[in-house]
Structure 1
Amino acid sequence: MTGLTGFEINGASAADMALLRDWADEEGWNPGDSDRFAFSVADPGGFLVGRLHGEPVACISAVRYGDGFGFIGFYIARPDVRGQGYGIRLWRAGMERLHGRLVGLDGVVEQQDNYRKSGFRSAWNNVRHEGAPLATGQPPRETATGVRIVDAATVPFGQLAAYDRRFFPEPRDAFLAAWVGLPGRTALAAVRDGRVEGLGVVRPGSGASRIGPLYAADPEVAAALLLRLAERTPDGTVAVDVPDAHPRAAALLGGLGLTPTFETARMYTGQEPDLDLTGMYGVTSLELG
């Protein structure tokens, strides 16, 4: 695909995926160190790179889920080429790839007006909360009677995938399997009488270790998962992107000593999907939803 003189758009390679992660880190987004390996299986053709005279200068992800949903992320133009039209060409290519689908994204504050001009509407804000909950002296909490916190790898994957569908518009089994199973991260599930009632994943980043998703049947289960996940990090410092449409979630994390540091807007091109926001204490990923 050609555009401005010397500018081409094509699919990302494995080396490009590592570069995208570095660019996102330079933007202050602190993606997980190994997230790209799960991203690649979500939709192998969903990551686009713009090259100027062969050199990567911009990127975007336009990932398809199922038959009717897509998610935009990783929308970055290098600082030295901004304002020259390369980013908007890449944006159009990404949106064209998702044509006919409901499209979601998590927009940084400075881009939200531009997204509205492209037909996106705000649904809620995701507010990143960071801190070291264990430093507050909080012991790992006991959950309600009958709830066990277990290694998610011991739970039949079909149950995990069915549980995830309460919080996401389309099945994403391949992505989820990679997301919970990659080396170097910890995935825990809350189980009661054989039913999944919570799921949390923590993975290392360049800053605070990232927790996402954090799903739970109630605040007590969410707190137990978060504290046990924090125990698995090098220094106990974690970051969770919390939907402000679930006020009890923000109150819980604030009570555990985490403070807001960063904010994005979850936006959609059409009707907001019917998700279980009351069980969503932390979104999975700002890049892929």
Structure 2
Amino acid sequence: MGDFRVSVATAQELRRLRDWADDEGWNPGVSDGQAFFPTDPQGFLVGRLNGEAVASVSAMRYGADFGFIGFYIARPAVRGQGYGIQVWQAGMARLEGRNVGLDGVVEQQDNYRKSGFRLAWNNIRYEGVPSAGGQDDGVTLVDARTVPFDQLAAYDRRFFPAARDAFLASWLSLPGHAALVALRDNEIQGLGVLRPASGPSRVGPLYAASDSIALSLLTALSATTPGLSIAIDVPDINKPSAALVEQLGLTPSFETARMYTGPTPDLDLAGLFAVTTLELG
């Protein structure tokens, strides 16, 4: 098998992982690594065969008891040789004792079950150029950068199992990211982010107190890239979300399974119209 070792990735190697994800057709965001790396710099693991990186996984620690697995990739030339599973085991060992989540390709569900994961819902990626949307006259849309961060972090916690302030602060402020908040009487009623990607611009997260607010946010975000395609990962457990994007003319293109090793976290699923990222949750 040669000399195979698993260790923490460098910041430079994280850029390579993004390219690997691109090769897999996952359409990663152009600047994802700039938000990913500070979230948990020791959480990106690379398997090196005779010194060359050939496999990867991310094992993000959030708070004291939650973790998320992503970037599980073995390069095509080494698949079926046991290198991927070694990296996987190293990632899971890093998250031992935590409730671990992942968004995995549906055909791998049985393998994930063998590792103790249980299905919570599926995320359906919809893509296309949105048709004319609408505006909820009861809310005002503002740049997220103008809203006190403590309010944004508290709002995000309704939809994510743990605090992730470092990630969120970067995600909302990276160049090229459009981040909008829906306000009513100075209270947050929704949040949406659009970011440039290798292919269609990615929307995530999209949180909203109602369908009409979600539509307002999605309409405004897509207007920042007029006439261009977007991609949005919609949890099928939120039926109105799928109906909303289909109303805009988007069509399904990809599907992943959201799974957890422990109980499904108590989240505001009715307000979760799109997950943030399939790699980090």
TM-score normalised by length of structure 1? 0.95
Alignment partner of 1:254 is 2:251: no
SS in 2 for 1:224: helix
Q: Is 2:9 the partner of 1:8?
A: no
What's the secondary structure of 2:263's corresponding residue?
coil
Q: Paired residue for 2:141?
A: 149
Match of 1:59 among 49, 56, 61: 56
Match of 2:225 in 1: 233
Structure 1 residue 21 and structure 2 residue 18: aligned?
yes
Alpha-carbon offset, residue 185 of structure 1: 1.1
Residues 1-289 of structure 1: pairs in structure 2 closer than 5 A: 5-133=2-130, 136=131, 138=132, 140-145=133-138, 147-233=139-225, 235-289=227-281
Give, as a single letter, the amino acid of the residue that structure 2 aligns with 1:48: L
Report the Cα distance in structure 2 between the residues aligned to 1:7 and 1:61, rounded to whole angstroms.
18
- Please state whether the residue corresponding to 2:175 is helix, strand or coil: coil
Q: Deviations over 1:63-119 (max 9, x none)?
A: 000000000000000001011110000000000000000000001022111001111
Deviation of the 1:40 alpha carbon: 0.5
| 1:116 partner SS | helix
Tell me the secondary structure at the aligned position of residue 61 of structure 2.
Answer: strand
Secondary structure of the corresponding residue to residue 21 of structure 1: helix
- Alpha-carbon offset, residue 281 of structure 1: 0.6
Question: What SS is found at the alignment partner of 2:15?
Answer: helix
- CA offset at residue 125 of structure 1? 0.2
Give 5+ residue unaligned stretches, structure 2: none
How large is the Cα RMSD of the aligned pairs? 0.9
Displacement after TM superposition at 1:157 (Å) = 0.5
Amino acid at match of 1:109: V
For structure 1, the 5+ residue unaligned runs are: none
- The one-letter code sitting in structure 1 at the alignment partner of 2:127 is E
Residues 202-256 of structure 1: per-residue CA shift (max 9 Å, x gap): 0011110000001011011111111111111264311100000000000011001
SS in 1 for 2:214: helix
Aligned length in residues: 281
Q: d(CA) in 2 for partners of 1:215 and 1:6?
A: 46
Distance in 1, matches of 2:223 and 2:236, equals 25
Secondary structure of the structure 2 residue equivalent to 1:176: helix
Q: Residue 204 of structure 1 contacts residue 233 of structure 1 at CA under 8 Å; is this kept in 2?
A: no
What is the CA deviation profile of residues 239-288 of structure 1, one whole-angstrom value per residue up to 9, with x for unaligned ones?
10000000000001100111110000000001100011100110000000
> What is the CA–CA distance in structure 2 between the aligned matches of 1:86 and 1:227, rounded to whole Å?
44
